[in-house]
Amino acid sequence: MQYMALAKNNLKPQDVVILLKIIALGKKSWFHHTLAQELGMSQSEVSQSLNRSKYAGLIDDARKKVNKIAFTEFLLNGVAYAFPQQPGALVRGVLTAHAAEPLSSIIKANEKYVWPYAKGLERGQAIEPLYSTIVEASLKDRDLYELLTMVDAIRVGRVREKEIAKKELQKRILNA
C-alpha cells in the first residue's frame, strides 16, 4: 500500500510540459484552468502535475514559481533517462529537436525529426512528444515550442546536439 502512495508522486512527461509552459509565460499571470486550456489538458491533470512537481522540488510550495535551478538540472541530466525516445518511422509532422529552430540555425544535419501531426508540412523520423497535446499547444506558443524542441534534442540527439541544446536551454530557462 505504501508503494502506491509513493507512485502517485513520480514525475510524468506532462509535468515537464507544464513547467516549460510556466517558464514560457514569463511574468504573465496564469491559473490552473488557463494552463489546462492552453495545453489541451484537464484542470485536474494540471493540478496533479503541479503537486508532483512540488513533491519533486521543481516548483515552490504555492505551486506558482518554477525552481529554475532544480528544473534545469533535471532537464540537462535526467530527462533523457526518465523519458527516453528513439526516432521512429518517416512520417508527416512538425519539426522538433535539432531539426527545428532555434537549433536548426546552429546545427546543420541531414536527418529531420518530427512530432507526428496530420497537418504537418515536414517529413521526418517520428519522435513521440512528451504529451499528446503539445503539438497543437506549441503551434500557438512559439516560446513553448522552442523549449520543447530543445528538450527533444536532449532526448534524441547525439553528443554534439545534446550539448548545444543543453547550453541554449539552460540560458533560456535561467534568464527567463
> Environment class of residue 98 by beta-carbon count within 10 Å: exposed (0-12), middle (13-18) or buried (19+)?
buried
Confidence check: pLDDT of 144 > 50 = yes
116 and 73 belong to one structural domain: no
Q: How confident is the model at residue 176 (pLDDT cuts 50, 70, 90)?
A: confident
Task: Note whether 78 and 99 are same-domain residues.
Answer: no
Which residues form the domain of 19?
Answer: 2-82
Tens of pLDDT, residue by residue over 8-47, are: 789 999 999 999 999 999 999 999 999 999 999 999 999 9
| CATH number of the domain to which 22 belongs | 1.10.10
Structural domain count of the chain: 2
Same domain? 6 vs 75: yes
In one-letter notation, the amino acid at residue 119 is: K
* Whether residues 94 and 45 fall in one domain: no
Q: How many helices (H) and strands (E) does the chain have?
A: 9, 3
Q: Which residues contact 63 (CB under 8 A, 6 or more apart)?
A: 50, 51, 53, 54
Residue 9 has a pLDDT of 87
Do 78 and 144 belong to one domain? Answer: no
**Cβ atoms of residues 94 and 135 within 8 Å:** yes
Higher pLDDT, 127 or 107: 127
Amino acid at 34: T
Model confidence, pTM: 0.94
DSSP line for 38-85? HHT--HHHHHHHHHHHHHTTSB-TTS-SB-HHHHHHHHHHTHHHHS--
Rounded distance between C-alpha atoms, residue 147 and residue 21, angstroms? 9
Q: Residue 99: what residue type?
A: A
Query: What is the average pLDDT score of the chain?
Result: 94
Position 7 confidence tier, pLDDT thresholds 50, 70, 90: low
Q: pLDDT tens for residues 36-95?
A: 999 999 999 999 999 999 999 999 999 999 999 999 999 999 999 999 999 999 999 999
The dihedral formed by the CA atoms of 135, 139, 141 and 144, expressed in degrees to the nearest 10:
40
